[in-house]
Amino acid sequence: MARLKLWIVLAALGGASFSVSVLANAKSAKRSRKAPAASTVDCKTDRDCVAVADDCCPCSQGGKQHAIPKKERDAYEKDRKKRCAGTACTEQMSTDPSCAQKGFCGAGICELRGDSGGDAPAAP
């Protein structure tokens, strides 16, 4: 009988712990779905955005690109060159669709948009 009571108490405590954990995770997830704060806006116009090499290799050397705020370009390029020192890229134009796209401002976030349907440039 004592073992049964102990088991019931432990089961109740375990259930309560699980419920508290689930509720905490639900509240945390709800908070993370909120809109970004005004200070996190990347851009106001398309001119505020530029396309940069996505990783170590630019489109002219087999890579791809993404858009960032123009004001962050110099710091990004400095970090990229430091991070990619010693990386060998191909001497071939990339066929990645991002290479035919330009940076634009979409809802305060810099993104890429293709002017001609996003087609990749023809390989040489």
Tell whether 30 and 54 lie within a shared domain.
no
Looking at the domain assignment, is residue 124 inside a domain? no
| pLDDT tens digits, one per residue of 20-61 | 343 444 444 444 444 445 557 889 999 999 999 999 999 999
Residue 121 lies in a domain: no
Q: Which of 67, 65, 58 is nearest to 93 (CA)?
A: 58
Full domain range(s) for residue 7: 1-34
**49 in the same domain as 2:** no
Phi, psi of 64 (to 5 degrees): -145, 180
Query: 49 and 29: one domain?
Result: no
In a domain, 29, yes or no: yes
- 30 domain-assigned: yes
My answer on whether 105 and 82 are in the same domain is yes
Same domain, yes or no: 47 and 104: yes
pLDDT digits over 85-122, tens only?
999 999 899 999 999 999 999 999 999 998 644 444 44
